[in-house]
Amino acid sequence: MSQAIVALKSVNIYQGVSLILSDVNITVDKGEFVYLVGKTGTGKSTLLKTLYGDLTLTEGEGTVVGYNLRELDWKKVPYLRRSLGVVFQDFQLLSDRNVNDNLKFVLRATGWKDEKLMDEKIADVLDKVGLKTKGFKMPFELSGGEQQRIDIARALLNSPRLILADEPTGNLDPQTSDEIMQLLFNISKDYGTAIVMATHDYMVITKFPARTIKTERGKVFDNASIVD
């Protein structure tokens, strides 16, 4: 039996007092790649925030990488986030330090202390994203595609079972976008990492087909058509 990395059952998701998504039922299994699509303002980001513990789940049943979302408190949220990786559209790299120190900052923040182990882990994730010689570069010395690869490397630091990617190709040209998509699909296949990727880019979905979940009119539709 496959182990669900994400399981939401009869979930209602609120932003403040406003009901954004109702009766959400989603399962994502180990190694599965899932697109999350929908027009701006239909709840994609709200759903992602719920999955990484930024919004509290109060109605329905939800687990992410083994954590019960109904039982999350401020003490448990950091442990949840160590078990998943988040990839952002705008990279969010620290501009005042090089790539290695960006990655080391994250490792220290998530409890790593051994310098040798940290250096080995950083070398490992940079190798996985094809940038093992770029550790001493500053973010401004990297192209947009390279910065996105570093963002993915950062998401891989704690060997996550789940990566949540929020518009990771949004700021990239088509060729670089294709390279990033290939990298994400390889990570999903090679390491059994489940990936949920929010996107507006239907060209990407056409080139790299996968299961698609759509937010629309306060609902979440599984295996949805991407065409309105």
Q: For residue 219, what are the contacts with CB-CB under 8 A and spacing of at least 6?
A: 21, 22, 23, 24
**Residue 2: its pLDDT value, please?**
55
pLDDT score for 65: 95
The whole-model pTM stands at 0.91
Q: How confident is the model at residue 70 (pLDDT cuts 50, 70, 90)?
A: very high
Q: Which amino acid is at 85?
A: G
pLDDT at position 92 is 84
Contact 213, 34 (CB under 8 A): yes
CA terminus-to-terminus distance, the chain: 35
Q: What is the mean pLDDT of the chain?
A: 92
Say which amino acid occupies 88.
F
What SS3 class is residue 159? coil
Q: Which residue has the tokens 């996107």?
A: 199
Most confident range (mean pLDDT) of 17-31, 74-88, 214-228 is 17-31
**How confident is the model over 154-177, as a mean pLDDT?**
92
- φ/ψ of 142, rounded to 5, equals -105, 150
Q: Tell me if 166 sits within 8 A of 91, measured CB to CB.
A: no
Check pLDDT > 70 for residue 184.
Answer: yes
Q: How confident is the model at residue 1 (pLDDT cuts 50, 70, 90)?
A: very low
Residue 211's pLDDT band (cuts 50, 70, 90): very high
Residue tagged 């979940």 (tokens) = 213
CA 204 to each of CA 26, 46, 185, 193: distance values in angstroms, whole numbers, following the listed order: 22, 22, 12, 20
Contacts 24+ apart (CB under 8 A), 203-210: 203/174, 204/169, 204/177, 204/178, 205/35, 205/37, 207/178, 207/181, 208/181, 208/182, 210/33, 210/34, 210/35
Sheet holding 18-29, edge to edge: 18-29, 4-15, 59-64, 67-68
Helix (H, G, I), strand (E, B) or coil at 39: coil
Nearest-5° angle of CA 82, CA 83, CA 84?
Answer: 95
Would you state the pLDDT for residue 88?
Answer: 81
pLDDT in tens, 105-155: 999 988 899 999 999 999 999 999 999 999 999 999 999 999 999 999 999
Q: Over the stretch 15-59, which tens digit does the pLDDT of each residue have?
A: 989 999 999 999 999 999 999 999 988 999 899 999 999 999 999
